């Protein structure tokens, strides 16, 4: 299996990823609409929030491998 390396944008912090993981578990929103939550929670600009969310989506399976 080839693992694609995704460059982490400078704006992405571990707390953003943890927040998005928790938001996903809460079922409060469809994760495609999670950028405004990042904007509100962390005071990010829209473009920054989208960068964080895109990185989170692209790396989710690498950060949360399925356990068999």
Q: Tens of pLDDT along 12-37?
A: 999 999 999 999 999 999 999 999 99
**CA dist 17 to 1, 2, 40, 64, 68, Å?**
24, 23, 15, 11, 23
pTM for the full model?
0.88
């Amino acid at each position: 299996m080839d693992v694609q390396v995704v460059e982490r944008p400078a704006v992405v912090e571990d707390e953003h990823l943890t927040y998005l993981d928790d938001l996903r578990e809460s079922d409060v929103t469809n994760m495609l609409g999670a950028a405004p939550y990042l904007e509100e929670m962390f005071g990010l600009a829209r473009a920054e929030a989208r960068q964080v969310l895109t990185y989170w989506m692209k790396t989710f399976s690498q950060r949360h491998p399925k356990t068999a």
